[in-house]
Chains A and B, each alone.
Chain A
Amino acid sequence: MSDINSNIPEGELTSKWTKYKSSVPLVNPSNKRTIEVIIVGSGLAGASAAATLAEMGYKVKCFCFQDSPRRAHSIAAQGGINAAKNYQNDGDSVYRLFYDTIKGGDYRAREANVHRLAEVSANIIDQCVAQGVPLAREYGGLLDNRSFGGTQVQRTFYAAGQTGQQLLLGAYSALERQIGMGKVEMYTRHEMLEVVKIDGKARGIIARNLITGEIERHFGHAVVLGTGGYGNVFYLSTNAMGSNVTAAWKAHKQGAYFANPCYTQIHPTCIPVSGDHQSKLTLMSESLRNDGRIWVPKKKDDNRKASEIPEDERDYYLERRYPAFGNLVPRDVASRAAKERCDAGYGVGASKLAVYLDFKANTERYGRIEAAKAGNHNPDKETCMRLGTAVIKEKYGNLFDMYAQITGENPYETPMRIYPAVHYTMGGLWVDYNLMTSVPGLYCTGEANFSDHGANRLGASALMQGLADGYFVLPYTIGAYLSKEISVKAIPTDHPAFVEAEQRAVGILNTLINIKGTKSVDHFHKRLGHIMWEKCGMARNEQGLKEAIEEIRALRAEFWSDVRVPGTADELNTELEKAGRVADFIELGELMCIDALNRNESCGGHFREEYQTEEGEALRDDVNYAYVAAWEFKEGVNFELHKEELKFENIKVAQRSYK
């Protein structure tokens, strides 16, 4: 069935990576000094790869659109990072992390990649601690862990609610060290606009200096994209305002297949939308589900305050439906369950599109433990709540503050109102086992690729994958390619391929400026987001997807004839930057709907209403859809499907159950 080769090494699953590492061709140190690698993106996947490749001796250029590499959106990850350390002695192992990830991904990920991820997970923690990343510790001085969704072990390492920040600052400091040594040339406030291909291989990029508007040509023996996910196609998401698909999409248009674009993760615990003015949504970390219980009133359209609803009139629907995992079911399951309750009329808050996340029971429980530690074995309720609040504050203080800031409500006193929101994209550029796209010499790491999470990512696995790719996988696998490139001299950037790529980029910029239409870029972005959320969001169906495709095509035509981009292309012009990104989102949105329409099954984050069990769970079709859908871009915004069959040799494929 496959018509693309994933280059998975032969041999036993558990020894593939070890054997690969010991037999992969090497590049000798003197040759490394003349080999140039371009890294686009400075998040966990980009910064870790840039630092590591420079440490190994390669000449590295790294690009980011922000004013500093430290600002990449990995910084906002809150809850934690998984690793199969088994520090808690609760039965964790490489195999169990591998198994949980494959199952969590609803059996739509590649076994070999996921096993490798689980194998290197422990090294990541060691590396980060060595860099001085201050992960949370217990009084004995050892590292602390907490639970995340979709698992029954405690394997998540964390730094309060700021784990992404601390890990990224670790990678950033390693990167800055190399910059200071002159081994990485850093280009901040630069946006990649084209991939340059020579004789079929990626040989460089065209980038725009966002301050001056200058278009620059950069040569590299290989190009790595660590440019993050495309959740902003929905306009409202938990992504940063600048997160975009442009680098990946330009690569796609140059021949890199785009895999499983319809797999989007809708995160169950986000602050609900409050009005039309809203520009972004804010996540409340999954770690809160460790200590928070999710509920709605048992009565429809119950307008009482949460505190006025007695215990026996509350429906803890996750605990009711999924007794084994309870509030810690995976994200896709929790999100759909929230939507189901709200759609059925049990939602809370002014919009009725919210459920409660309540910390009261656990606050009291913690308070009781604290009181006992202080010798008080019969504390009153007030004492329990006071002592317990201090514990909750230490664990989640920054998240509670953020919630209070945004909603104007005090979450220590009333339960949080939460609702699902777009958070992560499992789809991305197709890559083989080496993390190379279908364009030779063009690599893709982190959220930007599709490789490890199948149809649903488990919490605390994005940080793990970004750093695994950048620190421990790509630096080895890229050697397999570069070892054959040692005789290639740096190609001068007046080569016709650079000239032509630059003309493509400049042509688009000029077109956008010269449309001089009547509507702002945001106007189109909001309309695209609305179509995507309504028809390609938490639930999709054939009719809606077909309508969405037509609507997006019409929107694309309107965009290219009526968008208004003020200013010029030779200055700092944020509207021009946004316009280019939204143009690419519109094309991607269409492909996401095409992919969702093609996949006549439900799996993970992709829920087709036509395909569900009687209990409303996702119903897969393993006979016809156990494949990666890898789309090839064709002239005139058309797409051709290629299939990579998924073979499960080590895990028995079953219906996912968290009951």
Chain B
Amino acid sequence: MSTGNMNLTLKVWRQKNNKTKGALVDYKLADISPDMSFLEMFDVLNEQLINKGEEPVVFDHDCREGICGMCSMFINGRPHGPKDLVTTCQLHMRSFKDGDTIVVEPWRAAAFPVVKDLTVDRSAFDRVIAAGGFISVNTGNAQDANNLPIPKMQADAAFEAAACIGCGACVATCKNASAMLFVSAKISQLALLPQGQPERYRRVQSMVAQMDAEGFGNCTNTGACEAECPKGISLENIARMNRDFASAKFISEETV
């Protein structure tokens, strides 16, 4: 069993709800183990707050294995903290030093309003998917899966785009709060597969329109989204989306 010996100062964003103003509040934590995950460190903080009769910090989290996309802390100015290719829940305290001060804020974006403390509303992402992030096929009577061979490289590329966990780190880190990386990942996945071709140009137009309607910003090619994405989603997806969007507007006969 590891006993901890790290002492930390946390500056955590506290905000009652979306109608009130928030502020950073200081907390001292002692005896933190380097083997703890970042969220387990927050569990310790919350246990202390509850024991003192205070309200615990509310934050989103669920699977704690880096795949559900629910955890979303902005740590020392970076979404999901200092390590590359890691979600908040997979960040461990061994990435910090004894005596560190750690600033923890929620995702910041007009399209992701704060709900409480570190929890934000990311339902805009769902609405973008509902606008076209699918292949229109009802259940039942699909043809045999192997009737449609797909070259491995193409299938792998689609999978890499599909690995997006929808956490919103790309939006949080972007100075324009753009959702281009998220939206283009879904568009790319389906555009790379033969199954996605019939709706390809319709899809890109509807999803981009919904993205704009949600109030996400524009892309100015700074690349922060790719740098901070915990799943390594590539900027190439944005280029592909832009090409498809242009094709849809100028070449395709089908406009939405």
Residues of A within 8 A of B (CB): 48, 51-52, 55, 66-71, 73, 75-76, 85, 87, 123, 125-143, 159-160, 162, 164-166, 169, 172-174, 176-177, 179-180, 186, 188, 211, 238, 240-242, 274-280, 282-283, 351, 401-402, 405-406, 408, 471-472, 475, 520, 522, 564, 566-567, 571-572, 574-575
Is the pair A173, B129 in contact by a Cβ cutoff of 8 Å?
A: yes
Q: Quick check: A130 and B166 within 8 Å, CB to CB? A: no
Q: Does B119 contact A (CB under 8 A)?
A: yes
| B85 pairs with A401, CB closer than 8 A | yes
The answer on a CB contact under 8 Å between B146 and A143 is yes
- Kindly list 16 other residue pairs between chains A and B, CB separation below 8 angstroms, not including A137-B149, A277-B43: A67-B121, A69-B126, A70-B166, A71-B62, A130-B143, A131-B134, A131-B135, A134-B156, A136-B159, A141-B150, A275-B36, A279-B37, A402-B65, A520-B50, A574-B56, A574-B58
Q: Is the CB of A137 within 8 A of B150?
A: yes
B interface majority secondary structure: loop
Nearest CB in chain B to that of A51: its residue = B139
14 contacts between A and B (CB under 8 A): A55-B139, A70-B126, A71-B69, A126-B145, A127-B137, A129-B145, A130-B145, A132-B196, A137-B155, A142-B146, A143-B145, A176-B134, A280-B65, A520-B50
Q: How far is the CA of A655 from the CA of B94 in the complex (A)?
A: 49
Is B70's beta carbon under 8 Å from chain A?
yes
Cβ-neighbour of B163 out of A162, A176, A274, A406 (below 8 A): A162
Considering only residues 146-177 of chain B, those with a C-beta below 8 Å from chain A are: 146, 148-152, 155-156, 158-159, 162-163, 165-166
Contact A176 B126 (CB under 8 A): yes
Would A131 and B195 be within 8 Å (CB), given that A68-B166, A70-B126, A520-B51 are in contact?
A: yes
- Name the one of B85, B130, B148, B189 contacting A179, with C-beta atoms under 8 angstroms: B130
Complex partner residue of A572 from B115, B142, B163, CB under 8 angstroms: B115
Is B14 positioned at the interface, with any CB of A under 8 Å from its CB?
Answer: no
Q: Are A402 and B195 in contact (CB under 8 A)?
A: no
Binary per-residue interface labels of chain B (186-219) against chain A in the complex, 1 for a CB within 8 Å, 0 otherwise: 0001100101100000000000000000000000
With CB as the reference atom, state the residue of chain B lying closest to A160. B159
Most buried by B among A126, A174, A274: A126
Query: CB < 8 Å: which of B1, B115, B135, B155 contacts A130?
Result: B135
CA distance A67 to B92 in the complex (A): 24
A134 and B121: CB pair below 8 A? no
- A180 to B132: give the CA distance in the assembly, Å: 8
- Partner of B60 from the list A67, A176, A180, A401 (CB cut-off 8 Å) is A67
Which residues of chain A are near B47, meaning CB under 8 Å? 520, 522
Q: Which residues of B contact A164 (CB under 8 A)?
A: 67
In the bound complex, what is the Cα–Cα distance between A66 and B4 (angstroms)? Answer: 32
- How far does the alpha carbon of A211 sit from the alpha carbon of B58 in the complex, in Å? 11
- Chain B residues, Cβ within 8 Å of A564: 50, 53
Contact with A along B114-144 (1 / 0, CB 8 A): 0110010111011001111111111110111
Which among B33, B64, B116, B135 is the interface contact of A132 at CB below 8 angstroms?
Answer: B135
B79, CB-defined interface residue at 8 Å: no
CB pair A177 B162 closer than 8 Å: no
Instruction: Across the interface, name the chain B residue whose C-beta is closest to A211.
Output: B115
- The listed residue with most B CB atoms (<10 A of its CB), out of A177, A282, A564, is A177
Of A67, A131, A139, A277, which one neighbours B33 at CB under 8 angstroms? Answer: A277
Which residues of the partner chain A approach B49 to less than 8 Å between Cβ atoms?
566
Task: Verify A406–B92 contact, CB threshold 8 A.
Answer: yes
- Residues from chain A with Cβ under 8 Å of B220 in the complex: none
- Pair B68/A71 contact, Cβ less than 8 Å: yes
Which chain A residues border B16 with CB–CB below 8 Å? Answer: 571
Q: Which residues of A contact B119 (CB under 8 A)?
A: 572
Bound: A550/B216 CA distance, A: 56
B98 within 8 A of A: no
Q: A67-B122, A71-B69, A73-B63 are in contact. Are A141 and B139 (CB under 8 A)?
A: no
Q: How far is the CA of A637 from the CA of B232 in the complex (A)?
A: 50
Closest Cβ neighbor of B59 among chain A residues: A574
CA distance A237 to B122 in the complex (A): 27
Closest B residue to A127 by beta carbon equals: B142
Q: Are A280 and B92 in contact (CB under 8 A)?
A: no
Q: Which of B1, B37, B94, B132 contacts A351 (CB 8 A)?
A: B1
In angstroms, Cα B140 to Cα A52, docked, is 9
Q: Are A173 and B135 in contact (CB under 8 A)?
A: yes
Q: A240-B68, A522-B47, A566-B54 are in contact. Are A275 and B121 (CB under 8 A)?
A: no
Other-chain contact of A165, B4, B17, B67, B138 (Cβ < 8 Å): B67
Contact, CB under 8 Å: A572 / B92 = no
CB contact under 8 A between A279 and B195, given known A73-B62, A141-B151, A160-B159: no
Q: Give every chain B residue within 8 A of A282 (Cβ-Cβ).
A: 64-65
Asked whether B86 is an interface residue with its Cβ less than 8 Å from the other chain, the reply is: yes
Identify the closest chain A residue to B128 (Cβ): A176
| B83 closest partner in A (C-beta) | A405
Q: Knowing A129-B145, A130-B142, say if A76 contacts B150 (CB, 8 Å).
A: no
Known: A51-B139, A126-B145, A177-B130. A68 touches B163 (CB 8 A): no
Within B9-63, the residues touching A (CB, 8 Å) are: 16-17, 33, 35-37, 39-40, 43-44, 47, 49-51, 53-56, 58, 60-63
Which residue of A139, A275, A571 has the most chain B CB atoms within 10 A of its CB atom? A275
B138–chain A nearest beta-carbon distance, Å: 4
Indicate the member of A51, A276, A280 with the most B CB atoms within 10 Å. Answer: A280
User: Which B residues are CB-close (under 8 A) to A177?
Assistant: 130, 134, 136
Q: Nearest Cβ in chain B — how far from A24, in angstroms? A: 15
Query: Are B90 and A402 touching (Cβ within 8 A)?
Result: yes
Closest to A138 in B: B152
Q: How far is the CB of B127 from chain A (nearest CB, A)?
A: 8
A472 to B140 Cα, complex, angstroms = 8
With known contacts A125-B145, A142-B146, A241–B64 Cβ distance under 8 A? yes
Q: Judge whether A132 and B67 touch: CB under 8 Å.
A: no
Residues of A contacting B138 in the complex (Cβ-Cβ under 8 angstroms): 52, 55
Find chain A residues with CB under 8 A from B135 CB.
130-132, 173
> Taking the nearest CB of chain B, how far is it from the CB of A478, in angstroms?
14
Give the residue name and chain of the A residue nearest to B165 (CB).
A165
Given A130-B142, A406-B92, A408-B94, does the pair A139, B54 have CB atoms closer than 8 Å? Answer: no
B2 sits at the interface (CB 8 A): yes
B164 to chain A minimum Cβ distance, whole angstroms, is: 9
Of A180, A186, A571, which one neighbours B131 at CB under 8 angstroms?
Answer: A180
Query: Do A134 and B70 have beta carbons less than 8 Å apart?
Result: no
* Structural contact, A566 and B53, CB atoms closer than 8 A: yes
Tell whether, in the assembled complex, residue A275 and residue B139 are in contact, meaning their CB atoms are under 8 Å apart.
no
A283 neighbours in B (Cβ, 8 Å): 65
Once the chains bind, are B148 and A129 in contact (CB under 8 Å)?
yes
Q: Does B106 contact A (CB under 8 A)?
A: no
Shortest beta-carbon distance from B118 to chain A in Å: 11
Contacts of A70 in B (CB 8 A): 69, 126, 166
Of the candidates A51, A126, A566, the one whose C-beta lies within 8 Å of that of B56 is A566
Q: Could you tell me if A240 and B149 are in contact, using CB atoms closer than 8 angstroms? A: no
CB neighbours (8 Å) of A274 from chain B are: 1-2, 35
CA distance A7 to B154 in the complex (A): 47
Assembled-state Cα–Cα distance A596/B255 (Å):
62
Q: Indicate whether A68 sits within 8 Å of B139 (C-beta atoms), given known contacts A162-B67, A165-B67, A566-B54.
A: no
- When A159-B159, A274-B35, A471-B139 are in contact, do A142 and B149 touch as well, CB less than 8 Å? yes
Q: B155 near A134 (CB under 8 angstroms)?
A: yes
Query: By the criterion CB–CB under 8 Å, are A575 and B1 in contact?
Result: no
| Contact status A173-B142, CB under 8 Å | no
Measured in the bound complex, the distance between the Cα atoms of B92 and A277 in whole Å is: 12
